[in-house]
Structure 1
Amino acid sequence: MMAIHSAMAVVRGMFPRNYSAARAQIRHECRLDAELILLDSDISLKGKILDISTRGALFRPPQIYLLSRSGTLVRLAVGDVIAEGAIVNTTARGYGIQFKSELPIGAVPS
């Protein structure tokens, strides 16, 4: 097992992370009630936004296990603010959503 971890460390070292593409928007931690609508199936998920920026959000539905939904087009509603975008990442914390267009600064809690 140790050999596999060592090999993975070598492979990761061969492909350094591109820090120039790092997140440029400040994320604000929060616990906002929200609704995520999966546009391809019209499924609605209630949950919480764990953090948000003008370009994206991390949405956590109440399910224990999350299906990988990368590339799924979504609509995210928080109160009267509605944003369309796509799920770009699925982690144990939730769905990483990138908005189609930037939210106005006042729409994001500070």
Structure 2
Amino acid sequence: MALSLRRLFAPKQTFSRSAARYSCKIESTLIVIDRMASFEGRVIDLSSGGAMFRPRLAYLMDRRDVPICLTMGEFEVFGRIMSTSPKGFGLRFDEPIEEEEMTQILAFGDPAAAMAAGVLPGSPPAAAFVR
């Protein structure tokens, strides 16, 4: 295997996620299942595989690999806390969210988008979404 200087000093490839992330502000509740504690807050970043949840608390407890249930209006998703940062809790969902469901969740968080998509905020989607 030959070692080339070009390969050695070339810019490193950037990390890419497997799913597109959407910046949003969706009022939600995070339930830590093993302690049955709930946190009110906002989902500030959403993808089909996970989310960034920002609790209203001023202090974030360092939690990892904790089972959770995230509720966004009528939508409910199960997963785990994978990281804690100053921005909030990094969540990974047990099962990926389908594209249609993702559109409905994003529309729920933004009334203008909901009107454009024909989905009224606060009303359940045509197909119930509970995981």
Quick check: TM above 0.5? yes
TM-score by length of 2: 0.66
Question: Aligned partners of 1:27 and 1:107: how far apart in 2?
Answer: 14
- Structure 2: any 5+ residue segments left out of the alignment? 1-11, 108-131
Query: What letter matches 1:95 in structure 2?
Result: F
Query: What letter matches 1:100 in structure 2?
Result: D
Name the structure 2 match of 1:94: 88
Query: What letter matches 2:98 in structure 1?
Result: P
Residue of structure 1 aligned with 2:36, choices 32, 42, 59: 42
Question: Aligned partners of 1:70 and 1:18: how far apart in 2?
Answer: 28
Question: Aligned partners of 1:106 and 1:79: how far apart in 2?
Answer: 16
4+ runs of 1 displaced by more than 2 Å? 17-20
Question: Aligned partners of 1:103 and 1:67: how far apart in 2?
Answer: 27
2:21 maps to 1:27: yes
Residue of structure 1 aligned with 2:101, choices 99, 103, 107: 107
Question: Aligned partners of 1:78 and 1:90: how far apart in 2?
Answer: 20
Note the C-alpha offset of 1:75.
0.3
Name the structure 1 match of 2:124: none
Question: How large is the Cα RMSD of the aligned pairs?
Answer: 1.8
Residues paired across the two proteins, number: 93
Q: Percent identity?
A: 28
Name the structure 2 match of 1:71: 65
Question: Aligned partners of 1:51 and 1:57: how far apart in 2?
Answer: 5
Tell me which structure has the larger Cα radius of gyration. Answer: 2
TM-score by length of 1: 0.78
